[in-house]
Amino acid sequence: MKLVVTSALPYANGPIHLGHLVEYIQTDIYVRFLRLAGEQVIYCCADDTHGAPIEINAYKLGITPQELIARSFQEHTEDFEKFQISFDSYYSTNSPENKEFSDLIFSRLRDRGDIYQKVVELSYCPKCQRFLPDRYVRGTCPRCGAHEQYGDNCEVCNATYATTDLIDPYCAICKSVPVRKESEHYFFRLSSYTDRLRAWLLENKNLQDEIKNYILNWVDAGLKDWDITRDAPYFGFQILDDPTKYYYVWLDAPIGYMASTKHYCQTHGDDFDSYWVKDTGRIIHFIGKDIIYFHFLFWPAVLMGSGFRLPENIVVHGFLTVNKERMSKSRGTFITAREYWQKADPSYLRFYFAANLSHSIADIDFDLNDFKGRINSELLGNVANLANRSLNFLKNKLNGKIATADEGEYRALYDQKVPAIIDSYYKFEFRSAIRGILELSDFANKYFQHAEPWKKIKESEQEAARIVSTCVHWVRDVAILLKPVIPLICQKLEQQLNLPDLTLKDLGQSLTGHTIADPQPLVQRIDNLTLIGKGIS
């Protein structure tokens, strides 16, 4: 089986921040683990480049939308590289492949009778002389009463609605009060997929129950047909056979998953259909809990109607809070990826997020004191300490040559911890995996300390070699098991072990007779770290 894994597409309208990184690190850990397990997997993503916010921001900056998305693409890819996000394809929704798939899907849905036209009443700004789609109009949410919400959905309660439903609306460009004006739009018959979506949700045992039950409530309440149209002027793709209308960004954005896969296949001689059409393919999406409506209802229905494979799983995570609160620029707790990597090692954040991530939509909190404490005590004081003391003793006292391990001690700990750690990775329970790895490393440290090889070597070099070599075997296993989480640190450890390109197949294998390279420090202690503002120091 061939697997394509995706993360939600970051919007090309601003910087990557720590909240975004939760998802990309989570996805990357899973993909790296599958590669270690020998699975055929590709990781595809793209910049989400269309829509009103791109137009508005480009207008404010005095540049074209194309210039804005090019700038964002460069910044995003640099940030992702710094955080070791190993995309196989990172592309753009403003691409010929995405246009091709958008038109193909639209035409298939239209041919099935799933697309129809209807006159709708929209918000229109007489001063700007344009319709005001989604983020061009702001106001109060008609469902929960939250202020300063966009015209297509509420960021507080996740409600979706028409721009004309907003209370006290105003134009996002000129602040004028809009009027109502009619336009003919294309609609997707989402309501006709109610039974098929309900069956898919109930039959798919991979989906998180906490999300599935939430979505089923929406289905049971009745699904509304989806307006997939935006009026000119609009930065996006013109609708097939109708140059006066454009695809709504939420139609062509998820299609970006397919376009990115197609781009990978074209550049690597692979077959797109083997991922998205044939039974040989599997699809897993990672998303945040704020976009579940689109990914659990609209997107699967579009795939059903256009003849493409459905995702076998949609992994949903919670938000990132900072000091138990939502990130806020005014409170000094809004941290961009760039602000972080210019001051601290991205590997540390990967480790910290992994240690807090489970297969749940519970929010994750970033507390700098907790962050520093865990890096210093767990990554440095536990993992790096085990590697440092074991490899240095072996190199300095025993010529760097690994002897036969204590098979009983080694195998008992291996059997107790390693299978459960591997199982946790498969189940997206990274917090449990990290806990198991730290317990393994902690046991090995205590074994080293209790066995006192520095004393044993005075009486029996063979016994000291057995003790230290047992620990080196555990170091090798820890290096493999942490490789999806902190790949660069583990790569350094592989070099010191003189064991490049370790995989899961190397777990538990004998290293007797192998000679290591020179040990070096792996992790630096962090004490004085300030990221941004008064909220974090």
pLDDT value, residue 536: 45
Tokens of 117: 């036209």
Residue 335 lies in a domain: no
Q: Give yes or no: residues 281 and 417 share one domain.
A: no
pLDDT of residue 442: 99
Give how far Cα 366 sits from Cα of 91, 145, 345, 361, 402, Å. 30, 29, 15, 16, 40
* Residue 499 shares a structural domain with residue 393: yes
Are 133 and 231 within 8 A, CB to CB? yes
Three-state SS sequence of 208-258: CHHHHHHHHHHHHHCCCCEECEEECCCCCCEECCEEEEEECHHHHHHHHHH
Q: Are residues 43 and 88 in contact, defined by beta-carbon separation less than 8 angstroms? A: yes
pLDDT score recorded for residue 529: 78
Judge if 98 and 167 occupy the same domain.
no
What CATH number corresponds to the domain at position 101?
Answer: 3.40.50.620
pLDDT band at 537 (very low <50, low <70, confident <90, very high): very low
Q: Which of 335, 349, 494, 504 is nearest to 419 (CA)?
A: 504
Domain match, 472 and 500 both: yes
* Boundary residue ending a domain (295, 317, 339): 317
Q: What is the pLDDT of residue 411?
A: 97
Q: What is the CATH number of the domain that holds 168?
A: 2.170.220.10
My answer on whether 129 and 28 are in the same domain is no
- 412-439 confidence digits (pLDDT tens): 999 999 999 999 999 999 999 999 999 9
pLDDT mean over 210-228: 95
pLDDT at 310 over 50: yes
Write out pLDDT tens, residues 314-337: 999 999 999 888 887 766 788 999
Same domain, 95 and 145: no
> pLDDT over 90 for what percent of the chain?
89
Q: Does the residue 519 lie in any domain?
A: no
Residue (of 312, 311, 289) closest to 302 by Cα position: 311
Kindly tell me if the per-residue pLDDT of 218 is higher than 80: yes
Residue 159 falls within a domain, yes or no? yes
**Can you say whether the dihedral through the CA atoms of 489, 494, 500, 504 is positive or negative?**
negative
What is the layout of strands, in order, in the sheet containing 115-125? Answer: 130-131, 115-125, 179-188, 226-227
Is the residue at 396 inside a domain? yes
Q: What is the CATH number of the domain that holds 465?
A: 1.10.730.10
* Residue 310, beta-bridge partner list: none
pTM (two decimals): 0.94
Residue 227 lies in a domain: no
Q: What is the pLDDT of residue 40?
A: 98
In a domain? residue 430: yes
**67 and 124 in one domain?**
no
pLDDT tens profile 261-274: 999 999 999 999 99
Pairwise CA distance, residues 431 & 352, whole Å: 9
* Cα separation values, 288 from 19, 22, 157, 274, 319, Å: 10, 9, 14, 27, 7
Locate 95 and state its tokens: 């691409």
Q: Do 102 and 6 sit in the same domain of this protein?
A: yes
Instruction: Give the per-residue pLDDT at 330.
Output: 65
Structural domain that includes position 132: 115-188
pLDDT digits (tens, 9 = 90+) for 30-76: 999 999 999 999 999 999 999 988 988 898 899 999 999 999 999 99
Q: Are residues 302 and 388 in the same domain?
A: no
Cα end-to-end span (Å), the chain: 47
Pair 33, 99 in one domain: yes
Tell me the pLDDT tens digit for each residue of 385-397: 999 999 999 999 9
The domain total for the chain is 3
Q: Which of 271, 299, 317 is the last residue of a domain?
A: 317
pLDDT at 530: 73
Which of 133-151 are b and which e, b meaning 16 or more Cβ less than 10 Å from the residue's Cβ? bbbbbbbbbbeeeeeebbb
Q: 278 and 304, same structural domain?
A: yes
Helices and strands of the chain, counted as H and E runs = 19, 18
3-state secondary structure of 73: helix
In a domain, 409, yes or no: yes
CA–CA distance, 261 with 477 (Å, rounded to integer):
33
Express as a percent the part of the chain with pLDDT over 70. 98
Average pLDDT over residues 495-521: 98
Tell me, what's the pLDDT at 532?
55
Q: Is residue 40, in this structure, part of any structural domain at all?
A: yes
State the pLDDT at residue 528.
Answer: 83
Q: Is 85 in the same domain as 216?
A: yes
